[in-house]
Structure 1
Amino acid sequence: MVNFNGNFSEETTILNVENRGLKYGDALFETLRVVANKILFWEDHYFRLMESMRILRMEIPMNFTMEFLEEEILKTLEANDLTNARVRCTVFRGNGGLYLPETNNVEYIITANKLASPFYLLSETTYETDLYKDFYINKGLLSTLKTNNKIINVLGSVYAKENDLDNCLLVNEDKSVVEALNGNIFLVKGNIIKTPPITDGCLKGILRKQLLEILEKTPEYELKEESISPFEIQKSDEFFITNVIQGIVPITKYRKKQFTNTVAKDLIGKLNMRIRLG
């Protein structure tokens, strides 16, 4: 069942050809992890969505409160008989106009799919990645938003499949490594943990924010938000991807370099504890 502006339907063809998200990518989305009918990190997701809507000059409806959207999300889970789910909430400007919209009013769609596990689990399988250099991530503010303009991620995914890779790393115009196709990146060398700064063009990730807060309170690690070069990756001990759905995904191989996952194991335990206590 799909929630379209508060109305439920089994139809998946509810959008018409004038939809601005379809025509121009004039849309934002949040991917949410819901466990036992609790939306993880909901406040962070909500405020990121509101901030992004303001940046895109969308009109935020008066009823778009945190409580309203949470209720709509939970109603969608109930309609699909789910309590643990991966949820996508997409917000797009109303139909009409060419590049210049006729309205700044918004509509929304909420979908939900079954979540494999209620806990973050660390995979022990081989996970290989490499650089995707055909196109670059721009360092500007728009790159930090979760918009529907994800064609680089699509092409990178095709490239990964064609080259038997599990993922690809995206770079910006300075040739700094920014993020993976589906999440933020963290590099470990000794007790130093690095992640690219938002100013490099990486997504303003929700799980990235959670890990930064955890690391700031963990004295055995030194956290640095600094640009990461491809050469630096090959000198590191550990390398992993973060996103809200999977948690922490250890990269085991980058070109000829093999990585451990000791720090990832430690951090995923701290992350699960943070969720339980929260």
Structure 2
Amino acid sequence: MINLNGNLVEADSVLTHNRAFLYGDAVFETLKLVNGKVLFMEDHYFRLMASMRIIRMQIPMNFTLEYLEEQIIQLAELNSCSASCRVRLTVYRNDGGYYLPLTRSVSFLISVKPLGNQVYAFASEPYEVDLFKDFYVTKQLLSTIKSTNRLINTVGSIFAEENGYQNCLLLNEEKNVVEALNGNLFMLIGNRLTTPPLSEGCLNGVMRKQILTIAKKIAEIEVIEEPISPFDLQKADELFITNVISGIQPITQYRKKEFESVLAKVLLEKLNEAVNLL
């Protein structure tokens, strides 16, 4: 028996033994499926494999790209959302042990949620951000993967809501800007498009990779990966956030500075062109 909210109930293994719940011993991928096809599946797959190796999970022999993609597509079909849906694939270490697991073997859980948009749409509504300075992202390899320990993102999202912001920007221990709460950050000053390198502790984002690839093909744009300070934000012509669900989210205001979204529109059009070719 266990005590759940003051009631004695039978022990629930999902709550009492699952290591993702107990210790955050899990990694996950958020994917987008459109017209029965998982976008950027190969990039998601290799990031997932790298994340599992980093935290010393045992990768099952059947964990091939084709197998996981098939599982996702079948689930979307069963839930009648093959046209467009958000997919979450969570891999967690199996039950046993305390901090030291008794096994390195894993299980996985897939869930889907319908989305209204098939292509990436341009977001024109006001989108204000500020810095979240209560906690900092650590410059380490664990910060670059998607583990289920996302407390800084959760608390930062509450802070943003309490203060009327649409998002917040996270800092590392050197007080450089790392990323947004839900995606990677890009900054345009003149013709220089900058995003923090992975060594700053930012997420190794799948959409970050796509935008870097697309932007490097635009002759007039110089693409750079280097640290961004809070002072740089005030000099920017454009700021935008990238993630695989929304594509590109332009930031319209940071403190008293307002921003354009010219390059963001161009990149979004090229992103949709690339998606159509997948």
TM-score under structure 2 normalisation? 0.94
1:16 match: secondary structure: helix
- Partner letter of residue 216 of structure 2? E
Identity of matched residues, %: 55
CA displacement, residues 11-50 of structure 1 (integer Å, 9 cap, x when unaligned):
xx98232100000000000000000010000000000000
Alignment of 1:223-234 (within 5 A): 223-234=223-234
2-structure distance, mates of 1:152, 1:94 = 25
Residue in 2 that maps onto 1:36: 35
Residue in 2 that maps onto 1:244: 244
2-structure distance, mates of 1:161, 1:16 = 29
Residue in 1 that maps onto 2:221: 221
Residue in 1 that maps onto 2:6: none
Residue in 2 that maps onto 1:89: 89
Residue in 1 that maps onto 2:65: 66
2-structure distance, mates of 1:132, 1:116 = 30
Aligned length: 266
Residue in 2 that maps onto 1:195: 195
Residue in 1 that maps onto 2:26: 27
CA displacement, residues 205-253 of structure 1 (integer Å, 9 cap, x when unaligned):
0000001111222111000101000010011100000000000000000
Q: 1:14 to 1:96 in 2, by over 3 A?
A: closer
2:133 match: secondary structure: strand
Higher mean C-alpha deviation, range 196-205 or range 214-223: 214-223
2-structure distance, mates of 1:14, 1:117 = 37
1-structure distance, mates of 2:183, 2:13 = 29
- Partner letter of residue 235 of structure 2? K
CA displacement, residues 50-92 of structure 1 (integer Å, 9 cap, x when unaligned):
0110111000000000111011101111121111110000000
RMSD over equivalenced CA pairs, Å: 0.9
1:15 match: secondary structure: helix
2:103 match: secondary structure: coil
Tell me, which stretches of 5 or more residues in structure 1 are unaligned? 1-12
Residue in 2 that maps onto 1:6: none
Residue in 1 that maps onto 2:257: 257
TM-score under structure 1 normalisation? 0.94
Alignment of 1:1-278 (within 5 A): 15-83=14-82, 84-278=84-278
- Partner letter of residue 148 of structure 2? N
Residue in 1 that maps onto 2:5: none
2-structure distance, mates of 1:110, 1:15 = 15
1-structure distance, mates of 2:267, 2:77 = 32
2-structure distance, mates of 1:74, 1:274 = 21
Higher mean C-alpha deviation, range 259-268 or range 209-218: 209-218
2:125 match: secondary structure: coil
2-structure distance, mates of 1:38, 1:267 = 22
CA displacement, residues 133-170 of structure 1 (integer Å, 9 cap, x when unaligned):
01000000000000001000001001001101100000
2-structure distance, mates of 1:214, 1:17 = 46
**Shift of residue 179 of structure 1?**
0.2
2-structure distance, mates of 1:91, 1:133 = 30
Q: Which runs of 4+ in 1 moved over 4 A?
A: none
